Amino acid sequence: MKGTLFEELVNLSWSTSHLRRMTYTQASQPHDQDELIDYNRNNITMVVPDIGEDLVNNNPQILFTFGCQWVMMNYGSIDNMMELYIGEFQENSLVLKPEALRELVPKKYKTPVQPDPAVSFQPMQKISPIYNVVV
């Protein structure tokens, strides 16, 4: 993964502008819902339980509707909200967000350039006055 885009994701830190940490209350009751949704299109929001609360889990579905990617849950509390969370990832560890919550700008790809036949790995015939060989 070194040198790939996945390395950037694995090594995110608070010092980068692509990761935001919020408590459940901050994320579930944002001052500007559109800003949070827009931020989550190109960045990552980590939502942690509120400080000082007991081990009861909150509704993760609210956070998913805002596009929050990393929702921390109290795995020691198997309650209705944990069952809802586990149900979201029942079939896949990674779930694609709904299209409305993804990046708005469509990606544009260039047409691939045809390889130079001079540097091809296909068999090449070399002819000289002394020999005739296929390499």
Distance CA 30, CA 67 (A): 13
Q: Which domains does the chain have, with CATH numbers?
A: 5-107 (3.20.20.190)
Mean pLDDT score of the chain:
86
**Of the ranges 12-26, 70-84, 118-132, which is most confident?**
70-84
For residue 129, count other CB atoms closer than 10 A to its CB: 5
DSSP, collapsed to helix, strand or coil, labels residue 125 as strand
**What is the reported pTM?**
0.66
Pairing of strands 132-134, 125-127: antiparallel
For 66-89, how does the pLDDT look when each residue is reduced to its tens digit (9 = 90+)?
A: 999 999 998 888 889 999 999 999
pLDDT tier at 45, thresholds 50, 70, 90: very high
Q: Which of 90, 51, 43, 32 is nearest to 70 (CA)?
A: 43
The pLDDT assigned to 81 comes to: 92
Block residue for tokens 């694995």: 10
Q: Considering the chain, what percentage of its residues have pLDDT values greater than 90?
A: 36
In this predicted structure, which of 35-44, 52-61, 94-103 has the lowest mean pLDDT? 52-61
What are phi and psi for residue 74, nearest 5 degrees? -90, 95
